[in-house]
Amino acid sequence: MSSMKKLYVLAAALIALVSFRAAAQFEYIFPGDGSINNFPHTNLILRNGALMNASSLTTDKVEITGSKSGSIPCSVILSTDGKTVCIEPTHPFDYSETVTVHVKDGLQTLSGLSLSGTTFQFKVRRQMTVQELQSLNEYFSTHDEAGNLIDAAHQQATYITPPAAALRTESFDFVNIYTNNNAAPGEIFFHRIQGTTPITSIGKGYGIMEPNGDSVFFRSSSTDGENFHVNKSGYLTGLHLDENVDTGIFILDTGYNQIKMQYCKNGLSPSQHEQLFMPDGTKWFTIYDWQPGWDLTAYGGSSSATVNVSWIQELDANDNVIFQWRSDQHFQVTDACSDISLGTTTVDPWHVNAMFIDNDGKLVASFRNMDRIVKINPSNGNIIWHWGGVGSTYTDIVTLSDPDGGWSHSHNVQRIDNGHIMLFDNGNLHNPPVSKPKEYVLDETNLTATNVWYYTHPQVNGFNMFTKNQGSAFRLSNGNTFICYGLPNIQGLYNGTEVDANKNIVWEFRFKDSTEYSYRLYKQLWAPVGISDVKSSGNIKVFPNPGNGLIQLDMDAPLHGDAELTVTNLFGQRVYEEKGSYASLAHSTLDLSHLQKGFYLLTVKSGLSKLEQRILIQ
């Protein structure tokens, strides 16, 4: 090798080393270097992992250049987590352009560490053609959420006439309650999804009912309500669906008034499957992104297929995007189960349908169409382990003692109070296919998942309880298990069942219209705190009130000693607390700006004395 070539190779190696070291200072960068199919509306995310010095986050340290759009100004802010740098371009990128981002040296951590800069590139997707969009909308109108034809022959072949049920005072006239015997306390949250022929529902909507079928609340809607329940924030949430127009998550207070419509960012829209609204104001979404132009001819498919890419997005308390994760950057289309066709023009190989934040802060997500559950590190997006079901092409975790050898096309995976994992096993690839809730002891050290409980419903008129898609299973506080059977394969099977610890059916219902079903059912205690009825104590003042959450306390009660200050939301859930001497709290400043907008109850207790004040954050 000539001297000149050696110098060239050495220089290239040094440049690569410097670039690697610069990038290594950031544990998470989005969009990733070299990534494709990004949206024109895309913000940039940088995270070192340490708390950042907000004053160092200046716009002169970031240069964004589009191959078509040229230099693009931006804003640079620090997320409410104190770690994530959010870079927001002032206008969208152009379709089909390459974007180069250069971050200069000088971003600083709170500890004083100055970070080296980095450079990365990504590509923006092409625009979907009118024909592709029309074809996708036709697919949505003729297929269910699992890709099955809505008017498939087997969905019409068998109809089970509903048995008669006793009339009830002030009851919903569209439900039949067949068993209600010592069920766990709580109300049932449901959504009526319109069914198919031969009997078509005309009563779509969402609501709450007592176990005996009495009405608590119902709102008719042809678009809203899937996954309706009390979210972790304490507010009621559900999907507002208007395809390609205005899809978001509605948020209701205890008076069923909409206080906000929550949207995803970066050109994405939420799916109905999972929305986690946390008490600290952060929000997590499962998302579907139908991308055109995939060449699947190698698998017998189209040269320009539209593929459903699963996304997960996290917003901070101020709705800044601080984490995004894409299935196409971690899986192959060939990871799909054997019953998922790659030979059609519209392909759904992964299909995220559930997620939860685990006890260690990591994210666990379920992908129905490849029979796989994965654990993701949200700090950097890396997969920690794969747990495969019976149709999976790969697994790290061995499933033990499962009566079916594993689960198939599962829904609603979650960590329950005893530390075990519960999921609803739809059972599509079992022989014969039967749906059942299952509970596992997950050993993440030895990588085993041992089935310790499952429930098989008795046959109904000679038919197995098989739910081809959707469904849920929750362990209740008294040990009962509350089951939603989603979209039954045969019209007229039960929609929801509750069993006790001995597997006795203690509650069961069905919509009278045999074609109706609910994506999930929840049983939750519904006893909101009547904050509007609280009389404020005369010797506690809060100002400004209403305000943005930054408030000043002024208390003049003749109290002494230790005191506890708490803030609770409409559902009685404690969202803020502070302890100290009464003297230190009596004239203090509170920062509640991270809380959702709405009413709260501020309480100060000292000894046997209690001071209360209603506050409104707007």
Check pLDDT > 80 for residue 376. yes
The answer to whether 237 and 278 are in contact (CB under 8 A) is: no
Residues 6+ apart with CB under 8 A from 95: 40, 124, 125, 126, 127
- Output 420 or 545, whichever has higher pLDDT: 420
> What residues are paired with 197 via a beta bridge?
none
Token pair in block for residue 406: 């594993």
Token pair in block for residue 107: 């971003």
> What residues are paired with 350 via a beta bridge?
none
State the architecture of 130-524 in CATH terms. 6 Propeller (2.120)
Token pair in block for residue 388: 């495969």
Torsion over CA of 108, 110, 112 and 114, rounded to 10 degrees?
A: -20
pLDDT in tens, 17-32: 444 444 569 999 999 9
Residues 6+ apart with CB under 8 A from 246: 240
Between the alpha carbon of residue 538 and those of residues 30, 241, 554, 611, the distances in Å are 52, 46, 11, 8
**pLDDT band, residue 154 (cuts 50/70/90):** very low
- The residue ranges of every structural domain in the chain are 19-124, 130-524, 531-617
pLDDT in tens, 197-252: 444 445 689 999 999 998 889 998 888 999 999 999 888 999 998 766 679 999 99
C-alpha 449, offset from chain centre:
24
Region 382-393 average pLDDT: 97
Check pLDDT > 70 for residue 538. no
Between the alpha carbon of residue 277 and those of residues 251, 285, 313, the distances in Å are 10, 9, 12
pLDDT in tens, 446-500: 999 999 999 999 999 889 999 989 999 999 999 999 999 998 888 778 999 999 9
Q: What pLDDT is attached to residue 607?
A: 81
Decide whether 19-124 matches 531-617 in CATH topology.
yes
d(CA 41, CA 330) in angstroms, rounded, equals 22
DSSP code of residue 154: H
Token pair in block for residue 579: 């302890």
Q: How many CA atoms lie within 13 A of 189 on its CB side?
A: 19
Q: Which residue has the tokens 């017998």?
A: 300
- Output 88 or 279, whichever has higher pLDDT: 88
Q: Say what percent of the chain tops pLDDT 90.
A: 64
Region 79-99 average pLDDT: 97
Identify which of 64-78, 133-147, 535-549 has the greatest average pLDDT: 64-78
Q: Which residue has the tokens 């927001």?
A: 88
Topology, domain 19-124: Immunoglobulin-like (2.60.40)
Q: What strands, in cross-sheet order, belong to the sheet with 258-262?
A: 229-230, 236-240, 248-252, 258-262
- Output 254 or 565, whichever has higher pLDDT: 565
Check pLDDT > 90 for residue 64. yes
Count the residues in the chain: 618
> What residues are paired with 566 via a beta bridge?
577, 603
Q: Phi first, then psi: what are they for 142, rounded to 5°? A: -115, -5
Dihedral angle sign, alpha carbons of residues 77, 79, 82, 83: negative
What class is the 531-617 domain? mainly beta
